[in-house]
Amino acid sequence: MPTVPWDFPVDMAGVGGVRATLPDMVRYLEGELGTRESAITPALARTQQHVATVGGIAMGMNWILSNLNGRTIDVHAGGTGGYSSFVGFDREAKRGVVLLSDTALTSLGGLATMGRHLLDPSVPLGGPRIVATADDKLIDALVGRYRLRSGLGMDLRHKGNALTIQANAQPEFEMGYDSAGDFYPLKFDALLRPKRKADGTYTFTWFQGGGTQEAERIDARAPVASKWTPTEAQLKEYEGKYPLEPAFSLRVFSSGAKLFVQGTNQGSLEVASVDKDIFVAESVGAEIAFERDSDGKVTALTLKQRGQVLRGARH
């Protein structure tokens, strides 16, 4: 939907009052990389120095000091209503990226994924989100009364073919659905990510304005009885290695009546069966669906986690 640029008071211009062209930003980035000398070169270099660690994230004066395949990159993403931006650079490689968009992408994580890919092409770019149709069973499972961490109450309802959301003392809004498995309001920038629990019920994570809040269901909803409890022999059918990205795979293995998954350079996690060929790792918000061929042999899996949908064939 069309929107107008935000205006900031003069004493708050640093949080979003800059209006710059792409050539302006390229010159600024050249200064940060040290490839363009100017009177403020020493000041630019100081902004890149590590001054604090916040929530485990190293920070410069105005840069997040991130690790990318063993190298330090300086990045900063931003956005206002109707706009998104990203600037990042690898000073050692003398490589920099400026991304400007005329769309607010804050709730989708902004432009960081694309920016990191442009800084290092070995980082997966990912795919676009495409409008999709939510399964009625998913919508019905989400219907109910919830409360966010902030205390705000929300009602989810099934109306027609869509999910609607209504917060306390606010209008009711229709939600769209996308190929990553997320719902989004059609009238404002936010995101609702369904979260399946080990007992088969659903809750969700709410993204809005750069913040993230977990929702707690406060109405009565009985746990869903698992439609299928696999035997030890059936669990062994899933065992194997499933490459999902060039440097990341899932190893699936069983032990007794339990199934486990282990990502590259990660610890193993037990997953719970919530339906035939569908398992959940509730602690990390992951859902895994296995695929079978016409002979019933497990051939692939799809991992849904943190807005990503990754598929890997069984090896």
> What's the CATH code of the domain at 213?
2.40.128.50
The mean per-residue pLDDT over the stretch 258-287 comes to: 93
Mean pLDDT, all residues of the chain: 91
Examine residue 124 and state whether it is found in any structural domain, yes or no.
no
> 3-state DSSP call for residue 141?
helix
Q: Is residue 208 part of a domain?
A: yes
Average pLDDT estimate for 257-283:
93
Has residue 300 been placed in a domain?
yes
- 166 & 265 share domain: no
**Are both 50 and 114 inside the same structural domain?**
yes
| Per-residue 3-state assignment (H helix, E strand, C coil) for 199-265 | CCCEEEEEEECCEEEEEEECCCCCCCCCCCCCCHHHHHCCCEEEEEECCEEEEEEEECCEEEEEECC
Asked if 157 and 163 touch (Cβ cutoff 8 Å), the reply is yes
Domain's final residue, options 119, 150, 182: 119
Shared domain for 45 and 115, answered yes or no, is: yes
pLDDT recorded at residue 22: 93
Are both 35 and 115 inside the same structural domain?
yes
Residues 101 and 60 in one domain: yes
For the entire predicted model, the pTM comes to 0.78
Same structural domain, 242 and 190: no
Hey, how many other C-beta atoms are within 10 angstroms of the C-beta on 187? 11
Within a domain: residue 126? no
Rounded to whole angstroms, how far apart are CA atoms 168 and 147? 10
Residue 259 forms part of a structural domain: yes
Residue 221 is predicted with a pLDDT of 74
Do 202 and 273 sit in the same domain of this protein?
Answer: no
Q: Residue 123's pLDDT band (boundaries 50, 70, 90)?
A: confident
Using the 3D structure, point to which of 157, 182, 217 is the last residue of a domain: 217
What would the pLDDT profile of 59-83 be if each residue is shown by its tens digit? Answer: 999 899 998 888 899 999 988 888 8
Number of domains in the chain: 3
**Whether residues 83 and 148 fall in one domain:** no
Tell whether 146 and 105 lie within a shared domain. Answer: no
Q: Are 182 and 205 in contact (CB under 8 A)?
A: no
In this structure, the answer to whether residues 151 and 91 fall within a common structural domain is no
Q: What is the pLDDT of residues 180-197, one digit of tens each?
A: 999 999 998 899 999 999
Domain limit, last residue, from 84, 119, 154: 119
- Report yes or no on 147 lying in a domain: yes
CB-based contacts of 75, cutoff 8 Å, min separation 6: 63, 64, 66, 86, 87, 88, 112, 115, 116
Q: Hey, which residues does 288 pair with through a beta bridge?
A: 279, 303
CA atoms within 13 A on the CB side of 84: 18
**Residue the block writes with tokens 């606010």:** 170
What DSSP assignment string belongs to 8-54? --GGGGGGT-----HHHHHHHHHHHHTSS--TTHHHHHHHTS--EEE
- Residue 299's domain comprises 232-313
Give the Å distances, CA to CA, from 38 to 31, 224, 260, 266. Answer: 7, 65, 56, 45
**Residue 226 within a domain:** no
Same domain, 15 and 89: yes
Residue 226 has pLDDT above 60, yes or no: no
